[in-house]
Amino acid sequence: MAPIRILVVDDNHLIRKLIGLILEGAGYTPIDADSGEAALALVHADPPDLVIVDEVMPGMLGSELVRLLRRSRERRLRSLAVVGVSGHDGAARALLQAGADAFVAKPVEEHPLLDAIARALGRPFRPDDPPGMPAA
């Protein structure tokens, strides 16, 4: 079975690195983009299994990216699992109303993030699973 690929979209490279380390530790394959525009190019070229997106970024907001995905002509992009992340007031509402499947507040912590990913993918989250074993 191919590893689950997760696109992390955040303008802050330290946040992308932190989330990437959490994902790798859980057995996922992280890829990243520093903007909504870069993320759109990546998802069109090679769609991941899930997208983690920050709300507040220069250029395109995370909620705008989610709306574009949900309105895509491509079924695969419309149905991508999406987890929103942000530390800004109102971001959870904006991302969830745009169509995100789950939301995690910043600062991002491992267990809430992995639980949100599992829910968005329709899988149970078991925090005691050994590293490298995504929830089945």
Q: What is the pLDDT of residues 11-32, one digit of tens each?
A: 999 999 999 999 999 999 999 9
CATH number, domain with residue 83: 3.40.50.2300
Sheet with 5-9, side-by-side order of all strands: 29-33, 5-9, 50-54, 81-86, 102-105
In a domain, 99, yes or no: yes
Q: How many domains does the chain have?
A: 1
pTM beyond 0.85: yes
If we measure between CA atoms, which residue out of 89, 56, 57, 82 comes closest to residue 68?
82
Q: Which domain holds residue 97?
A: 5-120
CB 41 within 8 A of CB 53: no
Instruction: Indicate the pLDDT class of residue 127, thresholds 50, 70 and 90.
Output: low
In a domain, 130, yes or no: no
pLDDT at 124 > cutoff 90: no
Q: Which residue has the tokens 């955040």?
A: 10
In a domain, 135, yes or no: no
Q: What are phi and psi of 52, to 5 degrees?
A: -105, 125
Q: Which residue has the tokens 């998802």?
A: 43
pLDDT at 134 > cutoff 60: no
In a domain, 131, yes or no: no
| Per-residue pLDDT reduced to its tens digit, 46-104 | 999 999 999 999 999 999 999 999 999 999 999 999 999 999 999 999 999 999 999 99
